[in-house]
A and B are shown apart, each in its own frame.
Chain A
Amino acid sequence: MSGFEENIIEVRNLVMEYNGNHVLDNITFNVKKGEIFVILGRSGCGKSTLLRAMVGLLTPTSGEIYIFGKNILALGHKDQVEFRKKIGMCFQNSALFNSMTVGENVALPIREHTKLADSTIEIMARIKLELVGLGGCYDMYPSQLSGGMKKRAGIARAMALDPEIIFYDEPSSGLDPVVSAGLDQLIRKMQNTFGLTSVVVTHDLDSVKIIADRICVLHNAKILAIGTLEELEKSEDPYIRQFFTRTPDPEETYSSSLILEDKGSM
C-alpha cells in the first residue's frame, strides 16, 4: 500500500514462552505510520498475547519492540508513562471502570496526565464521546450501556489524550453484525480524521475486509504471511485459504491435529 512509509512500530524476533510452550515464536514485523494493521488468527494463536506485549502489559521472553523508535522493553518509569500517553488501547470487554460514569472514565486519563481545569476536562471528555457517537451518555454508568456502546466508550477513553497509535483487541467480538460494522466504520473514521495508526487484533473476516490496510496472519505462534487483503486472497497457503474460505477443520482429525501442532511448537 502506498502512502505509508515510515515505520512506527517495529517488532523484532519476539519470543514469548509460557510454561515451556512457545506462545509467540520469532515474530518480526513493522507497522507503518498511519495505516490500519490487522493481526488475524484463530482463537488461541497468540494474537492477544502479541498485542499485550506491544502495549507493555506482558514482558516477552526475548526480542525487541520498537515504538516511536524506542525499545519499549527498556524504558524507565518516566519514559514509560510518556510512551503510554501516546498510545491508547481498547480492550475486548471495553474494561470501563464500573464505579465511574462514562464521562469520568473518558476524563480520567486527561485529569491524571494534564493540569487542566475541571471544566476544560469535562468539555474535552464530551468532545471525545461526541466523536464516537455517545454524546448523550456522559452521565450514564457503564452498566447502563449496551455492548457496542461500551466499546465506543472504550474507544473514546483510548482517544482521550489524542494518542498516535491505538490498539484494538477484538473490537467486534460479542457484537451483532450491524453494530460491528458501525465500529469498523468508526475505526476507519479515526484513522482518516486523525491520521491514527491502528493495530487491530481480530478473527472477524468481514471487518478485516473493511478496515485492513495490511494484514498479518498468525498461526501456531508464527507469522504465516503479511500483506494486503488482495495479496492474501491470492495466497496458496492451505491455512490461509482455509481461513479466507471459512472451511472448518476436518472433524475427525480435529483434536489430534491440534495436539500434534502443540507438540510441534514446544
Chain B
Amino acid sequence: MFTRILGIIGKKTILCIGTTLAICVLVFETFNWLFVQPLLGRGLRWKDAIENFLEFGYRSLPIVGLISLLVGIIMGMQSAYTLQQWGATIFIANLVGISALRELAPLMSAILITGRSGSAITAEIGTMKISEEIDALIVMGLSPFKYLVVPKFIGMLFAVPCVTVISMAIMIAGGFIVGVGILGLDFWAYFDQTAKALTSKDLFSGMVKSVFFGLTICWVGIYKGFQVEGSAESVGRMTTSSVVTSIFTIIIVDLIWTSLFYFS
C-alpha cells in the first residue's frame, strides 16, 4: 500500500517535471524565434501576426463589447443597491470605474478571448498535428515555431491589452447608463466623479494583468495543441482542457498580480 502511494507520487512527479520541461522549451523556443532567429535572418511572419491580431482582437470586439456593457450595467445596479441606503449613489462611478479598470475588464476580456481564440489555437494546432501538417512543415525544413507559434504569440500579446482598454471604456459606460439614465445623476457630476476616482495606477495594474493574461492564453492554447495525439477525439478533449486550464491559470495570475499591487 505504502509503496503504491509512493509509486503514484513518483509517477505524478515525473509527469509534472515533464510538463514543466515541455513548457520551458515552448517558452524558450517562442522567444528564440521571436527575437534571436529573426536577427539571424530567418524572418518573422508579420502578415500572419497581423492577421492573428485582427482575429483575436478586432473580431472579438462585438462580443467583448456587448458583455462589457452588460457587466458595467450589472455592476452599476449592484452597487446602487447598497449605496442607495446611504444616499451615496454618486459613488457608483468610483465602484464601477475602479473595478472595471483593476479587475473586471481585464478578466472578462481574457476569459472571452480564451473561449473564443484560446480554444481555436488548440484546435488548429491539434488538427494540424493529427493530419501530419506539422510533420510536413518540419520535413520541409520549416520551423512550426516560426509558422504557427510566433505569429499567434505576437497577435495575442497585442490583442488582449487592446481589447481590454476598449472593454474598460465600455464597462464604465455601462455604469454611466445606470447612474445617469436610471438613478438620474447629473451627467457631468458622474463624469467628474469617475475622472477623480481613477488613477493611472489603476489603469497600469489592469494593463499589466492583461498582458500576462495574453501570455497565458497563448501558451496554454499552443501547449495543449501540441499535446494532441492520435485522433480527432483528442482534439476535442485538448480543446476543452485548454479552455479550463487557461481560465484557471488566468485566475491564478490575476490573484498574484492583485496581491502584488495590493501589498506594494
Contact = CB atoms under 8 A, between A and B. Distances in A.
Contacts of A84: 138-141
A91 B139 CA distance: 10
Interface stretch (B72-80, B115-123, B127-135, B250-258): B127-135
B131 A109 contact: no
The 4 closest A-B pairs by CB, nearest first: A84-B141, A95-B132, A95-B136, A81-B141
Given A91-B132, A108-B142, A112-B140, 17 more contacts: A52-B135, A55-B139, A56-B139, A81-B141, A82-B141, A83-B141, A84-B141, A91-B135, A93-B132, A96-B136, A97-B136, A98-B131, A98-B133, A108-B140, A109-B142, A112-B141, A157-B136
B188 to A, nearest CB: 51
Nearest to A167: B139
A84 B128 CA distance: 20
Interface in A47-95: 52, 55-57, 80-85, 87-89, 91-93, 95
Interface residues of A, number: 25
30 contacts: A52-B135, A55-B139, A56-B138, A56-B139, A57-B135, A57-B139, A80-B141, A82-B141, A84-B138, A84-B140, A87-B139, A88-B139, A89-B136, A89-B139, A91-B136, A95-B131, A95-B135, A96-B133, A97-B133, A97-B136, A98-B131, A98-B133, A108-B142, A109-B140, A109-B141, A109-B142, A112-B141, A112-B142, A113-B141, A157-B136
Contacts of A92: 132
A95 B141 contact: no
B221 to A, nearest CB: 17
A103 B139 CA distance: 19
Contacts of A109: 140-142
A57 B138 contact: yes
Nearest to A85: B141
Contacts of B140: 84, 108-109, 112
Interface of B: 128, 131-133, 135-136, 138-142
Contact of B131 (A57, A87, A93, A157): A93
Interface in A144-191: 157
Nearest to B135: A57
A233 B140 CA distance: 37
Contacts of B141: 80-85, 109, 112-113
A72 to B, nearest CB: 12
A55 B133 CA distance: 15
Nearest to B138: A57
A88 to B, nearest CB: 8
A88 B135 CA distance: 12
Contacts of B138: 56-57, 84
Q: Of residues A57, A83, A91, A112, which shows the largest number of chain B Cβ atoms within 10 Å of its Cβ?
A: A112
Contacts of A95: 131-133, 135-136
Contacts of B139: 55-57, 84, 87-89
A57 B128 CA distance: 15
A85 B135 CA distance: 14
A57 B139 CA distance: 7
B126 to A, nearest CB: 13
A174 B141 CA distance: 28
A92 B133 CA distance: 11
A157 B140 CA distance: 9
Contacts of A85: 141
Q: Of residues B132, B133, B140, which shows the largest number of chain A Cβ atoms within 10 Å of its Cβ?
A: B140
A109 B131 CA distance: 18
A74 to B, nearest CB: 17
A97 B132 CA distance: 10
Nearest to B137: A97
A129 B20 CA distance: 44
Contacts of A80: 141
A112 B43 CA distance: 10
Contacts of A108: 140, 142
A101 to B, nearest CB: 15
A80 B131 CA distance: 23
A98 B139 CA distance: 17
A91 B131 CA distance: 9
A85 B140 CA distance: 6
A97 B129 CA distance: 11
A55 B132 CA distance: 14
A218 to B, nearest CB: 21
Nearest to A112: B142
Contacts of A157: 136
A92 B131 CA distance: 9
